[in-house]
Structure 1
Amino acid sequence: MAKDQFDAYSDRYIDTVEQSISFSGLSHGFFQHSKALMIQDLLALRLSERPNPKLLDVGCGVGALHPLISPMFSSVEGVDVSIDSIARARTENPDRKYEVYDGLTLPYDDDSFDMCLSICVMHHVPPAHWDNFMAELNRVVSPGGLVCLIEHNPLNPATRLSVARCPFDADAVLLGTRNMRRRMRKAGLIDVATRNFVFFPSNKSGFRKIERRLHWLPLGAQYAAIGQVS
């Protein structure tokens, strides 16, 4: 998707997502909360030795998730190709840092962060650029840190329907978990794994316990792919 197309949705992103998932009876906020809970689990599982990690969110959009996850990190920074989205993120999250980038080279030094996060972004990246995109996420994270990509699960029928109904997902090329793990390993990441989530229409603790046990089952609406920087 072109940068100006992303800019066109900066003021109505949430409304557009709400319309695309309206058939499910779930809200955009539910999915945001689900992602925040998954990130919290990943920190406990894979980054517990770094109690105050620094996070970079690549493709952060308007920074809608940041109020939910900021308590988990010592700092949260975001970068996006959309100038308008970054302007809105700066307005709504004045205590965090945001930058615009060209979609190819992240404007940060090597080893600048403890974790790099990218949520539902890679499916917008042209497949020819996937290797470079993954390499850049790897580059800006210090050794021992984490790269995490959260993506739509193409095996979930409801997910495919919501993507088909979303106008800014018209260019989406969904990646399955096996493809994602292969590309993460190709980028030099180690201890690569995927965890599936959003099996149930609830984030209550009982459902969360069951969901954690089912993380291996590739039927959740979304999945998190995690790799460690060597």
Structure 2
Amino acid sequence: MIKAKLDKGRPPTAAGSVTQEQVAKDFDRLTEIYERDINQAIAFAGMEHMFFIDKKRESIVRLAQERFGEIDKLDVLDLGCGLGAYHPGLEGAFRSLHGADVSARSVELAAERHPFVHYVNFDGVTLPYPDDSFDLAFTICVMHHVPPAQWDGFVAEMKRVLKPGGLALVYEHNPYNPATQYIVRSCDIDKDAVLLTPRKLRGLFGAAGFDEVQTRTIFSVPPKGALLTQIDSLFGHLPFGAQYYLSAIKAGPAGHAASV
């Protein structure tokens, strides 16, 4: 687990002791400069944040297609959506796209930028949706901001709002990657980050009762072009990638064909 640099805007906290309310306040405060700070932190890699956003968005669409076939009938949730950075390019891809976040300011700005998405602000504990609402729920680099004491509840809520047979996708930083450690230490918004190993994340989803729980690393090499993308995919079973994703299925029959 990694603790990034301390925030001068409030007293330091022990790793893992930050509250959900503090996380929400931090993201409200840093919303306007979030993208700039991320780009500064990853500048050494020679690519901007948008490159990694595009690749993960492509991954979400691909995994959804592998699970369900046609995806235009899916109801989809971005849990911890922030400013909705992954939503451009998804307009019309699904039947509905929803975003939920603890940062009220982020949700406000996201709604202005992406009127085709249904955004809500929530308390970080209980999602404001009925049981079995979504075919797909994804969360991208969010869980390391969730207080560890709430990890079980976060996963349980994700499962609750998924339909039987629904797909959960979680993208996270790989704590075994030195470049990732550097980026987390360099980014102000990650000052209280507690990174989850792939094994830990699989354990959380397995304990919650998900089926077909698996993880693969990504960004072992920058997937620029078809060849490097294929190489990156081949390296997915190794622990080298800068990030990784978890896929898991809520028990029950899927409304569409195939499984991840």
TM-score range, shorter chain: over 0.9
- Distance change (3 Å), C-alpha of 1:143 and 1:49: farther
Matched, 1:98 2:145: no
Q: Which residue of 2 aligns with 1:44?
A: 65
Q: Distance in 1 between matches of 2:98 and 2:57?
A: 16
| Aligned partners of 1:34 and 1:203 also within 8 Å | no
> What stretches of structure 2 of length at least 5 have no aligned partner?
1-21, 252-260
1:182 to partner: Cα distance: 0.7
| Aligned partners of 1:26 and 1:201 also within 8 Å | no
- Structure 1 stretches of at least 4 aligned residues deviating more than 6 Å after TM superposition: none
Q: Which residue of 2 aligns with 1:34?
A: 55
Matched, 1:166 2:166: no
Q: Deviations over 1:168-201 (max 9, x none)?
A: 1011000011111011011111000112111222
- Distance change (3 Å), C-alpha of 1:218 and 1:47: farther
Q: Which residue of 1 aligns with 2:74?
A: 53
Q: Distance in 2 between matches of 1:80 and 1:34?
A: 22
Q: Deviations over 1:118-164 (max 9, x none)?
A: 11111011111100000000000000011111000001110110000
1:50 to partner: Cα distance: 5.4
> 1:71-220 alignment to 2 at 5 Å?
71-220=92-241
SS of the equivalent of 1:66 reads coil
- Which deviates further from its counterpart, 72-81 or 53-62? 72-81
Q: Distance in 2 between matches of 1:19 and 1:170?
A: 15
Q: Distance in 2 between matches of 1:49 and 1:74?
A: 11
SS of the equivalent of 2:137 reads strand
Superposition TM-score, scaled by structure 1 size: 0.96
1:219 to partner: Cα distance: 0.9
- Which deviates further from its counterpart, 197-206 or 170-179? 197-206
Superposition TM-score, scaled by structure 2 size: 0.85
Q: Distance in 2 between matches of 1:206 and 1:133?
A: 37
- Distance change (3 Å), C-alpha of 1:23 and 1:50: closer
1:46 to partner: Cα distance: 2.6
- Which deviates further from its counterpart, 33-42 or 91-100? 33-42
| Aligned partners of 2:134 and 2:161 also within 8 Å | yes
| Aligned partners of 1:34 and 1:198 also within 8 Å | no
SS of the equivalent of 1:172 reads coil
| Aligned partners of 2:141 and 2:173 also within 8 Å | yes
| Aligned partners of 1:17 and 1:166 also within 8 Å | yes
1:71 to partner: Cα distance: 4.6
- Read off the aligned partner of 1:68 and give its amino acid letter: G
- Report how many residues are paired: 230
| Aligned partners of 1:16 and 1:166 also within 8 Å | yes
Q: Distance in 2 between matches of 1:215 and 1:45?
A: 17
1:33 to partner: Cα distance: 1.1
Rg (Cα) greater in structure: 2
1:72 to partner: Cα distance: 3.5
Among candidates 244, 247, 257, match of residue 223 of structure 1: 244
Q: Which residue of 1 aligns with 2:46?
A: 25
Q: Distance in 2 between matches of 1:56 and 1:217?
A: 29
